Amino acid sequence: MRNRVNMIAVGDELLEGRTADTNSGRIQRALGQHAVQVAGIQVVPDTKEAIFQALDRTDVGDIVFLTGGLGSTPDDLTRDMVAQWAGVALPQDDAVRQQLEERWKRLGRKVGVGVQRQCQVPEGMAALENHVGSAPGLVGCLKGRILIMLPGVPSEMEGLLPAVVQWLTDHGHLPEARHTLLWRTGQIAELALVRKLDSIREANPELQWSWWLTDWGVDVRLAVEPDNKLGKAQLAAVEAPVSELLGHLVYSRQMESLPEVVGRMLKAKGLTVSVAESCTGGLIGASLTDQAGSSAYFRGGILAYADHIKNELLGVPEAMLQKNGAVSEPVVRAMAEGAQRQLNTDYALAVSGISGPGGGSDEKPVGTTWVAVATPEDVYTWAYRFPGDRPRNRLLTVAAIVDSLRRSLEFGPGQVPWMADDSWCRT
Amino acid sequence: MRNRVNMIAVGDELLEGRTADTNSGRIQRALGQHAVQVAGIQVVPDTKEAIFQALDRTDVGDIVFLTGGLGSTPDDLTRDMVAQWAGVALPQDDAVRQQLEERWKRLGRKVGVGVQRQCQVPEGMAALENHVGSAPGLVGCLKGRILIMLPGVPSEMEGLLPAVVQWLTDHGHLPEARHTLLWRTGQIAELALVRKLDSIREANPELQWSWWLTDWGVDVRLAVEPDNKLGKAQLAAVEAPVSELLGHLVYSRQMESLPEVVGRMLKAKGLTVSVAESCTGGLIGASLTDQAGSSAYFRGGILAYADHIKNELLGVPEAMLQKNGAVSEPVVRAMAEGAQRQLNTDYALAVSGISGPGGGSDEKPVGTTWVAVATPEDVYTWAYRFPGDRPRNRLLTVAAIVDSLRRSLEFGPGQVPWMADDSWCRT
């Protein structure tokens, strides 16, 4: 049973300012409920010396994650360096070779020379099949460390994580799970959320609080170590009051994304949704279709980036556009009604905003964003003023409109999905 | 003159899976063209031991960047730890104090207690004014290292970088710029690209090659140190042959994204584009509107996720959908024609594919994706079979269709934008 984790991210691209290491964070989130401590992250180049040095800096008993450098190009060294460092052989594994060859045949491709290296498994380690890419994950104990090698491509790495956590658990390498509670909130600023919970925090000193900014809002996490009796009692005692206090701000109590939640609600009620997007250019539709099975509720949408498209495809009157401008309450309302009508859906989401950097004015500064939620009964509109740059404002717009749909589905007919205590980016 | 850089990112939040360290990348990009080697990045928690250990792991002569931990709360330790580690005093600096007090008055705020610590400057270091936030940058030579301390907030850190680079240059700490060449390629697999260049690589041993997977394809980078005469000659000699060999696979020779390139081409020619998206659900429109000023060429699009929308809004005949299925050549062709007609644009992009995990068949396995590029003269279609999971297949689809538009604009009328040697995800 270990609780000290060391991360080693291998790859010149991580040191050349091209990409940031996000894998270490993904791994940490996957281990989240277990009481592991990440002692540090080392990002090192694709060189023998650097990988050796990074491995030497880990301690006996550590769980060591290495990500990257498992590809088939000459500069992919991780597999070989780990074997050399541990002084073990690096034979080809027939089962892995077969997996790779079958995979490539399935994809209708010739078996490349890459298979030669990607089916190598250091003695004393086991391979975990990679269903997203080719290089398998490698797990095992060498030199007193629990070593885990994973591909650097995030989607491949994440695809392997469940199997890795399973392996760690099966072999008793993970400590007992920490007791945790989670509230995922939308449309409230981190600081406002922290303040809301001040008194409960002061009254329960045994609890470990953490606040995580996500693509959809802010997560509140509560944790106590498995051996902390008093902490467990406090944890049980605060759950109801915290839920009460946060109320409609909470979109989920589990590790699911906001689009997952909305998709589940729509599916359960047999309802459909469409979008009419201007400034987001398709991001809302993209996030609603992230989920497998989204065709059950997402019908489609109209990207009305140019104003004449708002008129021609969504039926927004020319005069209305001229009088109010494209970023206005009547226009976004007409866009939502247009999508609801054109795509014949129960709900429709519309946004029109100034993402920046240009296009702002004193009256409508950059970040000003009108959103509309058309429901079977009524159309609700709201204006946000987002504080970020162009990419951030577009993401905030998606989070805001999808959460507004979630609230609308939760609150039911006749209820405005925004409330006085929504501190988030209010204009 | 130094060329070895060590980065130390300080902060618990970087180890808890909340935020990734992006500052090291920003610093590296700012130093990019200089022949600095980033030896490694260490991400460490806000503890005395961890910061000491990280500093001890640097070598005499290194340029050491520390980011984070310069705030005014008790867990901001970087300033104090560096002074202790170097064994120098940490006096308050009157000039810095004055700057901070003036700044806070300007912002109409009371001078907080934070000023007490944020105006401290370790002996032997100088302060660089922070125009975005309060904590100044700190630069100087201690223990034989060139130490640079910067705030962890990315906007503050980036605001200080120009002054830091200036300081490093003025004091002769930065080497001459490295000589580099870049080719950004699309629609070819990394390994196929490496093999294409095998003979040139073997013939030019002085050149440092690197291969970077990006959202849009694979980057090929060539570099030589400034003092390497033979290398410089080889660099000059290979540029033409490499460009010749890669030909139409190259979408840019500079650090610009594929949507930027396509946007520039469309703008220059005064051409417009629209999209008809099925499996991508809006991702193509979203990526084409990432760029500020995209309204000059992007008109909008139709998200036809449900088949009846393909018929109702894009005019794809019911019979065609029933006979061929939504993921087929005639349907994607009709979708592109429909978007081109409905949105009245010069070009239109359409995709219809099986992203997975479900929906696959023997005939059309998961990953099968039909794309169409409608040009003013003709409509071109192609089928890919992508090897990833749902999110990856959707991203690969965006990269494929946007690069196909890029080629179409480059090749001109009557030219099919796909070629026999496109190894990438060919069915």
Q: What is the mean pLDDT of chain B?
A: 91
A392 to chain B: closest CA residue? B290
Spatial contact of B12 and B77, defined as CB atoms under 8 Å apart: no
Name which of A129-133, A189-193, B79-83 the model is least confident about: A189-193
φ/ψ (deg, to 5) at B180: -135, 155
Between positions 191 and 210 of B, the ones with CB within 8 A of A are: 191, 194, 210
* Ranges A103-112, A278-287, A388-397, most confident: A278-287
Question: CB B300 to CB A289 under 8 A?
Answer: no
- Provide, as residue numbers in chain A, all residues whose Cβ is less than 8 Å from the Cβ of B32: 16-17
Alpha carbon distance B272, B277 (integer Å): 17
Name which of A53-57, A293-297, A338-342, B360-364 the model is least confident about: B360-364
Q: How far is A298 from chain B (nearest CA, A)?
A: 7
Question: CB A306 to CB B288 under 8 A?
Answer: no
Per-residue tokens: A129: 């099949």
Q: Which of residues B363 and A341 earns the better pLDDT score?
A: A341
pLDDT tier at B63, thresholds 50, 70, 90: very high
pLDDT at B427: 47
- Both A197 and A288 in one domain: the answer is no
* Average pLDDT of the residues in A404-411: 97
Q: Is residue B136 part of a domain?
A: yes
pLDDT at B109: 67
- Both B276 and B204 in one domain: the answer is no
B368-377 residue pLDDT tens = 999 999 999 9
- Both A118 and A157 in one domain: the answer is yes
Question: CB B301 to CB A295 under 8 A?
Answer: no
Spatial contact of A69 and A77, defined as CB atoms under 8 Å apart: yes
Question: CB B41 to CB A14 under 8 A?
Answer: yes
Listed residues A170, A204, A234: the one ending a domain: A170
**Which residues form the domain of B208?**
184-252
Q: How far is B95 from chain A (nearest CA, A)?
A: 32
Strands A379-385 and A250-252, by their bridges, are: unpaired
- Both A41 and A88 in one domain: the answer is yes
Question: Residue A111 belongs to what H/E stretch?
Answer: none
Q: How far is A111 from chain B (nearest CA, A)?
A: 12
Q: How far is A178 from chain B (nearest CA, A)?
A: 15
**What percentage of chain A reaches a pLDDT higher than 70?**
97
Q: Is residue B308 part of a domain?
A: yes
A162 at B interface, C-beta within 8 A:
no
ipTM: 0.83
Q: Which of residues B328 and B76 earns the better pLDDT score?
A: B328
A297 to chain B: closest CA residue? B306
- Both A108 and A21 in one domain: the answer is yes
pLDDT at A2 exceeding the cut of 90: no
Q: Is residue A422 part of a domain?
A: no
pLDDT at B175: 80
- Both B243 and B190 in one domain: the answer is yes
Q: Is residue A47 part of a domain?
A: yes
pLDDT at A207 exceeding the cut of 90: yes
- Both B161 and B238 in one domain: the answer is no
* Average pLDDT of the residues in B156-175: 90
pLDDT at B306: 95
* Average pLDDT of the residues in A65-81: 91
- Provide, as residue numbers in chain A, all residues whose Cβ is less than 8 Å from the Cβ of B391: 155, 290
Return the exposure string of A93-117: e unless at least 16 CB atoms fall within 10 Å of the residue's CB, then b.
beebbebbeebbeebebeebebbeb
Q: Is residue B417 part of a domain?
A: no
Listed residues A225, A252, A279: the one ending a domain: A252
Q: How far is B303 from chain A (nearest CA, A)?
A: 5
Listed residues A252, A270, A285: the one ending a domain: A252
B208 to chain A: closest CA residue? A75
Q: Is residue A160 part of a domain?
A: yes
- Provide, as residue numbers in chain A, all residues whose Cβ is less than 8 Å from the Cβ of B286: 280-283, 286, 394
* Average pLDDT of the residues in B135-160: 92
pLDDT at B389: 83
pLDDT tier at B2, thresholds 50, 70, 90: low
* Burial environment of residue B375 by CB neighbours within 10 A (0 to 12, 13 to 18, 19 or more): buried
* Average pLDDT of the residues in B297-314: 97
- Both A237 and A269 in one domain: the answer is no
pLDDT at B426: 53
CATH code of the domain in which A93 resides = 3.40.980.10
**What percentage of chain B reaches a pLDDT higher than 90?**
69
Chains A–B, number of C-beta pairs less than 8 Å apart: 241
Name which of A209-213, A365-369, B124-128, B162-166 the model is least confident about: A209-213
Q: Is residue A147 part of a domain?
A: yes
* Average pLDDT of the residues in A22-36: 82
B305 at A interface, C-beta within 8 A:
yes
pLDDT at B332: 98
A220-277 residue pLDDT tens = 989 898 889 999 999 999 999 999 999 999 999 998 999 999 999 999 999 999 999 9
φ/ψ (deg, to 5) at B368: -65, 125
Q: Is residue A246 part of a domain?
A: yes
Q: How far is B333 from chain A (nearest CA, A)?
A: 18
A154 at B interface, C-beta within 8 A:
no
**What percentage of chain A reaches a pLDDT higher than 90?**
68
CATH code of the domain in which B223 resides = 3.30.70.2860
Count of structural domains, chain A: 3
Partner-chain residue, chosen from B21, B295, B391, that has the shortest CB–CB distance to A290: B391
pLDDT at A421: 66
A22 at B interface, C-beta within 8 A:
yes
Partner-chain residue, chosen from A18, A281, A289, that has the shortest CB–CB distance to B212: A18
- Both B267 and B295 in one domain: the answer is yes
- Provide, as residue numbers in chain B, all residues whose Cβ is less than 8 Å from the Cβ of A18: 25, 212, 214, 219
Q: Residue A269 to residues A199, A403, B426: CA-CA distances in angstroms? A: 38, 17, 41
pLDDT tier at B26, thresholds 50, 70, 90: confident
pLDDT at B423: 62
* Average pLDDT of the residues in B305-323: 97
Beta-bridge mates of residue B137: B128
Spatial contact of B348 and B374, defined as CB atoms under 8 Å apart: yes
Q: Which of B42, B59, B214, B289 to mutate to test the interface with A (most CBs of A within 10 A)?
A: B289
A12 at B interface, C-beta within 8 A:
yes
Please, what sign has the CA dihedral across residues A318, A320, A326, A331? negative
* Average pLDDT of the residues in B96-113: 79
CATH code of the domain in which A297 resides = 3.90.950.20
- Provide, as residue numbers in chain B, all residues whose Cβ is less than 8 Å from the Cβ of A221: none
B423 at A interface, C-beta within 8 A:
no
- Both A210 and A277 in one domain: the answer is no
* Average pLDDT of the residues in B162-172: 92
B27 to chain A: closest CA residue? A17
- Both A236 and A263 in one domain: the answer is no
Closest CA relative to residue A114, chosen from A64, A79, A148? A79
* Ranges A75-79, B66-70, B129-133, B302-306, most confident: B302-306
- Both A75 and A131 in one domain: the answer is yes
Q: Which of B195, B295, B305, B401 to mutate to test the interface with A (most CBs of A within 10 A)?
A: B305
Alpha carbon distance B106, B301 (integer Å): 47
